[in-house]
Amino acid sequence: MALFRRFFYRKPPDRLLEISERVYVFDCCFSTDVLDEDEYKTYMGGIVAQLQDHYADASFMVFNFREGDRRSQISDILSQYDMTVMDYPRQYEGCPLLPLEMIHHFLRSSESWLSLEGQQNVLLMHCERGGWPVLAFMLAGLLLYRKQYTGELKTLEMVYKQAPRELLHLLSPLNPQPSQLRYLQYISRKNFGSEWLPSDTPFALDCIQLSFPPLFDGGRGCRPVLRVYGQDPASTTSNRSSKLLFSTLKTKKHARFYQQEECSMVKIDIHCRVQGDVVLECVHLEDDLVREEIMFRVMFHTTFIRSNVLMLMRDDVDVLWDAKDQFPRGFKAEVLFSDPNAVPSVVTEEVPSEDENGTEGASPEEFFEVEEIFSNAVDGQDGRGESGAHVVKESLQDDDSIEMIWKEEVEHHAFQDCASDEVNHKQEGKMDSNRSASEKNILGERDNSIPSKVIVSNGTSNMESEQ
């Protein structure tokens, strides 16, 4: 069978990397070169021409991970070729991950698109500057979700190998893989299927206990400051948003300096209510109470908290690329939770005013509308909005010295497949000649309720909501 597949294998179009059958990535995502507007149009036009020749009867869906809130350039270009483009954010509160409900929506949409009976749909993946870390994670998640690969670490590393290692280091000051692996493990769970819904039970995040944290100031000790980001408890289920929920005040009273001999156990009280996706960031505060040095960061989802504790070892937290050896082998972070009724619904005492610019959220209706594209095509039934997705504003500060995208005169990439040939299943089927028309009708029936940060673009219909 493997020999049979090799015999009939068709070389993918130039400038595209084949991840799996009918799933491709634009090779500009692996480059640090810059294309001007005309060069970028030429680049995309050449790829589209090859795709249309390679898949004469296919339809194309593009998932793009964009920078900021502006409408993406790829949407403007590919809509001219009657290609549907879905724009996703490229991070969540500084982490190269997306909220779990948004990840779930992406996986379901991709699976539906690739599995439509009698059609040979193609999925194209693209990211704008700085988006490679989240794109790599989403690709690994898709391969695991479709059971084409097994092993979260092996799959993630395999995808990351498709680009120079330096690219990940350049785009992410912290190693994001520990948190990304945690979310890939969520995806791999048996109950993370099409009907998965997050738990609506909140938690009270009581405190964090650090055992043997890294030492600063020449080994004298550390002054830890914690920040907690997550779903705004004041937001409604129809308009979820994320914000800074807690921050240690930068005073000597609240941000205590722990001497080396005291660092075998450091307890930091938090007492805030959390639910859903949570980012916990710990920094060391210098003696001037102004300068900071990142200690670690971790992202998790409260649905998977067991026995009211999240135990984190040295390999479970995101740290600077060259800082892992600074963490003693005995390092441990215990995040302790309790009954949410034990704390007020909104904690404001220790949240600095300058960080109160909460990130805006998208309503479940934004993805409910998009799901109709897939669910109507599969069974003709009405879609059901199951993914109340969070969409957040960019909080990363781009380094002006980093010019990303979008051109690289390189030879064709060959995907480094480390799985057995048996996991690649050839799907056959003729393309319905009315497929494009039906998709246009589905898109044309949509209203304008999609928030501006999630845009679905089509050759004849560009939907962008008004806030």
Which has the higher per-residue pLDDT, 421 or 160?
A: 160
Which tens digits make up the pLDDT trace of 196-209? 888 878 999 999 99
- If DSSP states are collapsed to H, E and C, what string results for the chain? CHHHHHHCCCCCCCCEEEEECCEEEEHHHHCCCCCCHHHHHHHHHHHHHHHHHHCCCCCEEEEEECCCCCCCHHHHHHHHHCCEEEEECCCECCECCCCHHHHHHHHHHHHHHHHCCCCCCEEEEEECCCCHHHHHHHHHHHHHHCCCCCCHHHHHHHHHCCCCHHHHHHHCCECCHHHHHHHHHHHHCCCCCCCCCCCCCCEEEEEEEEECCCCECCCCEECEEEEEEEECCCCCCCCCCEEEEEECCCCCCCCCCEEHHHCCCEEEEEEEEECCEEEEEEEEECCCCCCEEEEEEEEEEHHHCECCEEEEEHHHCECECCCHHHCCCCCEEEEEEECHHHCCCCCCCCCCHHHCCCECCCCHHHHHHHHHHHHHHHHCCCCCCCCCCCCCCCCCCCCCCCCCCCCCCCCCCCCCCCCCHHHCCCCCCCCCCCHHHHHHHHHHCCCCCCCCCCCEECCCCEECCCC
Which tens digits make up the pLDDT trace of 343-355? 654 444 444 434 4
pLDDT recorded at residue 188: 93
Checking if the pLDDT of 451 tops 60, the result is no
Checking if the pLDDT of 300 tops 60, the result is yes
Query: How many of the other CB atoms lie within 10 Å of CB of 146?
Result: 17
Structural domains in the chain (count):
2
Given pLDDT bands bounded at 50, 70 and 90, which one contains residue 10?
Answer: low
Which tens digits make up the pLDDT trace of 54-76? 998 899 999 999 987 778 899 99
Are both 207 and 179 inside the same structural domain? Answer: no
Least confident stretch, 88-92, 249-253, 411-415 = 411-415
**Domain limits for position 345:** 203-351
pLDDT recorded at residue 349: 42
| Residues belonging to the active site | 127
Which has the higher per-residue pLDDT, 286 or 400?
A: 286
Which tens digits make up the pLDDT trace of 19-62? 999 999 999 999 878 789 999 999 999 999 999 999 988 999 99
Are both 240 and 105 inside the same structural domain? Answer: no
Are both 452 and 371 inside the same structural domain? Answer: yes
Looking up tokens 């999240």 gives 310
Which tens digits make up the pLDDT trace of 114-170? 998 888 899 999 999 889 999 999 999 999 999 999 999 999 999 999 999 999 999
pLDDT recorded at residue 342: 67
pLDDT recorded at residue 434: 44
Is the CB of residue 27 less than 8 Å from the CB of residue 410? yes
Q: What is the mean pLDDT of residues 437-454?
A: 39
Q: Does 6 reside within a domain?
A: no
What CATH number has the domain bearing residue 35? 3.90.190.10
pLDDT recorded at residue 418: 45
Q: Does 169 reside within a domain?
A: yes
pLDDT recorded at residue 364: 41
Residues sharing a CB contact under 8 Å with residue 165, sequence separation 6 or more, in sequence order? none
Are both 337 and 368 inside the same structural domain? Answer: no
pLDDT recorded at residue 197: 81
Q: Does 314 reside within a domain?
A: yes
pLDDT recorded at residue 379: 46
Are both 44 and 90 inside the same structural domain? Answer: yes
